[in-house]
Structure 1
Amino acid sequence: MKYFKNIFDFYIQSSLHVALAVYALIRITFLKLNISYDEAVVCFGFYGTVVGYNFIKYDELARIKKVKLSNTFQIIIALSFVSALAAFYYYLELKINTKLIGFGALLVTIFYTLPFFPNKKNMRNWSGIKIYLVAFAWVGVTVLLPVINAELDFSIVVILKSIQRFVFIFVLMLIFEIIDLPFDALKLNTIPQKIGINRTKQLSYIGIGLFLFLEYFKPNSSLSQFAITSLISLILGGFTYFANSKRNKYYSSFCVESVPVIWLLLLLIFG
């Protein structure tokens, strides 16, 4: 049992699960906007997420705190290196305008982790804006990237789907911020720190309602797709309701991050 737990922990710590969530959201964009499957886009999104998130999570440990490299940490570094090569390969397969979005995502990741200037704060420590940066970044990778590579026009449907995706990620991040409340530095000025857990949950419920409402704005949207979005809204509401600062790490890092995967599976089976 301990062996399987170690594998599961590595799966989460190495950012493979969050990369799977990004993969799922890109596939959802394909389905929602009738875009043909594009291997370069989904693979760039997946491998790029592994590299980006591991860089964000472990840069400070390796660069500043100089922690001892455990076996797990060394494997994560190796995985990140292989993922970087794969991400670069698929980056070359993208169309020129899409490459600009991909390069922009790279810059955001770097500036989010490293300070602009010596002895200055990085974007991650800018008071009160972390949640918005993450949401915009995910919209860029999971909506704009596939749309631009498919050379779709920025119609009102695309814009509304981008807003819906932003709201979806925003709600997920609110759950993370509730759970991380005891560990976040006060200087981060997160939403639960500013308005409290109860009001944060109320904000999340409003976001979930908006997320469901925006599902109306899709041409030829089927009843089954609306039902799936309603079910996802209920799942988000459930995770929000039961979120608290005493939840263990798997509640957010696995369960909450599994919602995009559940959404994709439901669309593939019933959509």
Structure 2
Amino acid sequence: MIRFQTFLDFYIKSSIHVALSVYALVRMTHFMFQIPYDEPMALFAFFGTVVGYNFVKYDALARAKKNMMRKELKIIAIFSFFSFMAVGFYFFKLELVTQLVAVGVLIMTLLYTLPFFPNQKNARNWAGVKIYIVALCWVGVTLLLPLVNAHQDLGLDFFIKCIQRFVLVFNLILVFEIIDLTNDDPHLKTVPQQIGVKQTKILGLLLLLPFYFLEFLKTNFIQKQLVVNLILVVLLALFLVFANEKRSKYYSSFWVESIPILWWLMVILL
């Protein structure tokens, strides 16, 4: 049991789980727009997420040369290095225009992590901005990049999916912000800090309505997708309603981040 928990902790801390969520959303984009499996794009997103998230999480810790998590951090650093090599390999297999868009997403990630202006904090610490930057990065990586790489027209369906994908990620982050409420710096001004936990849950539940009903406006409408989306909405609503500061770390970092993976698996099965 202890070994399994150690493995699970490493699996989460090394960002493999969140990377699988991103991979699942890329595959969802392929399915929704009837794009054949694009391996370079999907694996670029997977390994890029590993590198990006580990950089965001451990950059300050590594630069400060703290002893906390020393052995584990070294293993994660080695894993991140090989992931970085994989990112470079798959990057050069993408279309030129996709590479340019990917660089734009990278700049957003760096802006989120590093302080670019003198005497200023990074965007991660800008009051109330974090949730929007993260959601936009996820939309860019899981929706825009796959479509650009497949030379798809960015028409009405694309904009509908942008809104839906943004709402999905926004709600996932809301659960994290509720659970981390007692530990977050008050200056971050997360959504629960600004409007309270109850109002945050109401906001998230209300946002699930356009997420679901926008599906009817698609030109390439698939009826079975309504069933899958309904299950997704119910699951996300339940996780949102039952979220609180006393929940286990696995509630958000494992179960909530599993929702995109489950969404993709439901599409495969149905």
CA distance in 2 between partners of 1:243 and 1:74 (Å): 33
SS in 2 for 1:206: helix
Which residue number corresponds to residue 176 of structure 2?
176
Name the residue aligned to 2:266.
266
Aligned to 2:188: 188
- Shift of residue 61, structure 1, vs aligned partner: 0.7
Q: Distance in 2 between matches of 1:233 and 1:69?
A: 37
The one-letter code matched in structure 1 to 2:16 is L
| Deviation, structure 1 residue 111 | 1.6
Bigger shift: residues 255-264 or 116-125: 116-125
Identity %: 50
Q: Which amino acid aligns with 1:180?
A: D
Query: Partner amino acid for 2:164?
Result: Q
In the alignment, the residues of structure 2 paired with residue 118 and residue 77 of structure 1 have an alpha-carbon distance, to the nearest angstrom, of 28
Matched, 1:156 2:156: yes
TM-score normalised according to structure 2 size:
0.97
Q: Which secondary structure state, in structure 2, belongs to the residue aligned with residue 93 of structure 1?
A: coil
1: CA distance, partners of 2:223 / 2:156 = 21
What's the C-alpha RMSD, in Å, of the aligned pairs?
A: 1.1
Alignment correspondent of 1:110: 110
Instruction: Output one character per residue of 1:166-197: Cα deviation in whole Å (capped at 9) or x when no partner.
Output: 01111111111111100111110111001100
Query: How far has the Cα of 1:210 moved from its partner?
Result: 1.2
Q: Cα offset for 1:220? A: 4.2
Measured against aligned partners, the alpha-carbon deviations of 1:24-60 in whole angstroms (never above 9, x if no partner) come to 0000001011111101110000000000000000011
Question: 2 CA distance for matches of 1:21 and 1:144?
Answer: 16
Q: CA separation in 2, counterparts of 1:248 and 1:238?
A: 16
Aligned to 1:125: 125
How much does 1:201 deviate?
A: 0.4
- Residue in 1 aligned with 2:207? 207
Q: Match for residue 137 of structure 2?
A: 137
Deviation at 1:68, TM superposition (A): 5.1
1:2-39 deviations in whole A, cap 9, x for unaligned? Answer: 11110010000000000000000000001011111101
1:66 maps to 66
Q: How big is the shift at 1:90?
A: 0.3
Deviation per residue, 1:60-89 (Å, 9 max, x gap): 111135335622111100000000000010
The residue type equivalent to 2:37 in the other structure is Y
Q: Which amino acid aligns with 2:146?
A: P
What's the CA shift for 1:217?
A: 2.5
Matched with 1:41 is 41
Where does residue 226 of structure 1 map in the other structure? 226
The SS at the match of 2:85 is helix
5+ residue gaps in structure 1? none
- How many residue pairs are counted as aligned between the two chains? 270
What corresponds to 1:247 in structure 2?
A: 247
- Matched position secondary structure for 1:184: coil
Question: In 1, are the aligned partners of 2:94 and 2:149 still within 8 Å (CA)?
Answer: yes
Larger mean CA deviation between 211-220 and 167-176 belongs to 211-220
Which residue number in structure 2 is paired with residue 17 of structure 1? Answer: 17
Does the residue aligned with 2:92 lie in a helix, a strand or coil?
A: helix
Q: Which is worse superposed, 197-206 or 106-115?
A: 106-115
So what's the TM-score if we normalise by structure 1? 0.97
